[in-house]
Amino acid sequence: MVPRHPIPSGLLAGRLSLLAMMAVAIWLAVVSTGSAASGAAPVIGTVSQPAAVPSEPEPLPEQMTRDEIRTLLSRLSDSEVRELLLRQLDKAAVDTGGREADLVGESDNALALLRERLALMIGALPRLHEIGPEIVNHVSAGQGTGHLAMMGLAILLMVVGGLAVERLFRRLFKRFADTIEQAGTRTLFGKLCILMLVLVRDLLGIAVFGITAVGVFFLLYQGHEPTREIITAVLLTILIIRVTSAVVCFAVTPDSPWLRITPLDDTTARTIYRRSVLIVASITVAYYLGECLEASLAKPDLGFFLLIGMVLSGVITAIIIALVWVDRKTVARLMTGEAASPDAPVSRARQMMADNWHIFVTCFLVGVWLLGNVKRLITGESVADSIILSLCILVALPVIDWVARAVLTGLLGVSGGPPEIPEALSTADMEPLTEGAEMATESGTTQPMSLHDYETRLQYRDVLVRNLRIVIGVVSLLALAGLWNIDIRGMAAEGVGDTVAGALFDIIITLILAPAVWGIVKTAITQAVAGEDGAEEPEPGEIGGKGGTRLQTLVPLFGKFCWSPSS
């Protein structure tokens, strides 16, 4: 048995104390190491807490008042405010760079697509001679060699049958025609009523022709789709040309000078009629020819489609430009009013426009043709409707201008020219006539218009016509922009910003309205001054002059006051 050596109690207590001190040292080392790793100072006797992660600044509302902004900033720390500011600046920088990059990318893509489709179109040039054979093969597919002759005969029967039934229909209006020839009316309203009745009769006759032709077509139709397409195009072309002829006859009446309401001579009226029908016929034929060509191609070919559209639109544009230059002198005479009144004075602006109108129209036509073809090359969509409507706006501008001028002339009662006043009568002789006119007015009879009233109404008419021209020009510009999908406001906002674009829009509206209102006000004041010039001059005193002299002094000051906001 091994003897046991007991450990003294003092030695045992010392060893236990040493072990306890070593355990505490190890624990402190572990705690201090963890605290240093987390970036926080160790706290003896407390439990360490995990470090707080900085939170993202809360998103800002879209609309905030100044007090709300200041309240929000007061709750944020400096680091949060700095982070919020950097985030907003970075967002603006990314948006701006992204928008510029998008614009550059879109431009590059458009140019690349334009080059690609131009190459396709140039590659399709050797196929132009295939247009005729393609149409023939498409129309006569599965029908034999004599199908084209049968289709031509069917079209002839449709036209002859429609004209025969229309002639019978017009015989119902024989008494109507005899009444028109015996009417002999001279008033503008009477002529307009007769022309409206004639237009309604012609349109009804064209409708009877169309219904009869369609009926003959259904009697002969054998269910061949290409044949239906060609016959429908031919029938629609005939109807459009005839409707145009009826409308132009209503406007210029080339064969009835006594019914003509426009200030045109016989030669000019016939020229306008022939040119209008020729232009509409060319556009209609080109449009439906292009439709038939696109439908007749067996294999879809984008390059060939684009080539057909460019060639047909180029031919029509060249025809219209040639007619514009041939008739430039005739139209210039109409613009200056030389055809109606050769001795009438012409303003410098109107004379300049009459001398150069054909150049402006040529530039417009070439610009529309280029814009249409570039848009077709980039998008691949048909732009025939946009080109045709743009030409209609170009034709409608002088027509609307003439109609507005004629209506205002009639409403203001200045269509008969200035009143005739005998030159042999002196001022003393005119006083009894004036008194008699006033007495006649009080008794209920009509007072003849004086020369002063005529000049006043004439000035008002010119001011109103000028204002209407400004409105018509702005509306036409907006209509053209809408036809070609041009967002003027959006382009201005992208270029200079929404705020500046809105300010520019307000400035333009002000510059348009200011001269319109000022023209009417100035005319009224000028006529008031002219009316006061004939008053008796008061005796010398504190007044020191006539009212007219005061108006003549205040009018320029008032004009400068009106124009100062827009300058």
Instruction: Look at residue 169 and tell me if it is in a domain.
Output: yes
The set of residues, in sequence order, having a beta carbon less than 8 Å from that of 183 and lying 6+ positions away, is: 190, 194
- In this structure, the answer to whether residues 99 and 168 fall within a common structural domain is no
Q: Is residue 362 part of a domain?
A: no
Average pLDDT value for the chain: 74
pLDDT at 356: 92
Is the predicted pLDDT of residue 44 greater than 50, yes or no? Answer: no
Read off the pLDDT of residues 141-193 as tens digits, 9 standing for 90 and up.
Answer: 777 777 888 888 999 999 999 999 999 998 888 777 667 666 666 677 788 88
Could you say which of 292, 315, 338 is where a domain stops? Answer: 315
CB 138 within 8 A of CB 298: yes
Which residue has 């007991």 as its token pair? Answer: 6
How much is the average pLDDT of 340-362?
81
pLDDT of residue 369 exceeding 60: yes
Q: What is the pLDDT of residue 27?
A: 53
Q: Please state, in angstroms and rounded to a whole number, the distance separating the CA atoms of residues 296 and 138.
A: 5
Q: Is there a single domain that holds both residue 248 and residue 116?
A: no
How far apart CA 268 and CA 274 sit, in angstroms, is 10
Distance of alpha carbon 324 from alpha carbon 72, whole angstroms: 70
Specify the 3-state DSSP secondary structure of 181.
helix
| 173 and 273 housed in the same domain | yes
CA distance linking residue 26 with residue 14, whole number of Å: 19
Q: Which residue has the higher pLDDT, 83 or 366?
A: 366
For residues 409 and 517, state if they share a domain.
Answer: no
Q: Is the pLDDT of residue 507 over 70?
A: yes
Amino acid at 234: V
Does the predicted model carry a pTM greater than 0.85? no
Confidence of residue 118 (pLDDT cuts 50, 70, 90): confident
Residue 263 clears pLDDT 60, i.e. is over it: yes
Q: What domain range includes position 110?
A: 90-123
- Between CA 157 and CA 234 the distance in angstroms is 13
* pLDDT for res 162: 95
Answer whether residue 441 is part of any domain. Answer: no
Rounded to whole angstroms, the Cα distance separating 323 from 562 reads 45
Helix H or strand E segment including 497: none
Question: How much of the chain exceeds pLDDT 90, in percent?
Answer: 17
Question: Is residue 157 a contact partner of residue 220, using CB atoms and an 8 Å limit?
Answer: yes
Question: Crossing angle of helices 498-532/451-483, nearest 10°?
Answer: 170
Is 233 a residue whose pLDDT tops 60? Answer: yes
Let me know if residue 48 belongs to a domain.
no
165 and 300, same domain (yes or no)? yes
Of 88-102, 184-198, 384-398, 427-441, which has the strongest mean pLDDT?
Answer: 384-398
- In-domain check, residue 435: no
What is the share, in percent, of the chain residues with pLDDT greater than 70? 66
pLDDT in tens, 64-102: 777 777 777 777 777 777 777 777 776 665 444 455 555
* 140 plus 195 within the same structural domain: yes
Residues 192 and 231 in one domain: yes
Residue 401 and residue 252 share a domain = no
Shared-domain flag, residues 220 and 148: yes
Contact 420, 390 (CB under 8 A): no
Contact 276, 396 (CB under 8 A): no
Query: Crossing angle of helices 348-379/384-412, nearest 10°?
Result: 150
- The identity of residue 328, as a single letter, is R
For residue 348, tell me if it sits in a domain.
no
Which of the given ranges, 129-133, 168-172, 397-401, has the highest pLDDT on average? 168-172
Q: Which of the four pLDDT bands, split at 50, 70 and 90, describes residue 224?
A: confident
- 318 — pLDDT class (breaks 50, 70, 90): very high
Highest mean pLDDT among 46-50, 136-140, 445-449, 491-495: 136-140
Say yes or no to pLDDT of 334 above 70: yes
Say yes or no to pLDDT of 244 above 60: yes
Q: Residue 323 — pLDDT band, cuts 50, 70, 90?
A: very high
Residue 552 lies in a domain: yes
- When pLDDT is averaged across residues 416-423 and rounded to a whole number, the result is 58
What pLDDT shows up at residue 1? 42
Contacts of 470 (CB under 8 A, 6+ apart): 512, 515, 516
- Residue 22 is assigned to a structural domain of this protein: no
Contacts 24+ apart (CB under 8 A), 103-111: 110/378
For residues 375-389, give the mean pLDDT: 84
Q: Count structural domains, the chain.
A: 4
Max Cα-Cα span within the chain: 175
Question: Do 180 and 304 have their domain in common?
Answer: yes
pLDDT of residue 49: 44
113 and 233 co-located in one domain: no
pLDDT at position 32: 47
State the pLDDT at residue 3: 44
Q: Are 154 and 194 in the same domain?
A: yes
In the prediction, which pLDDT does 549 show? 53
**CA distances from residue 28 to 21, 23, 58, 432 in whole angstroms, order as listed:** 11, 9, 40, 130
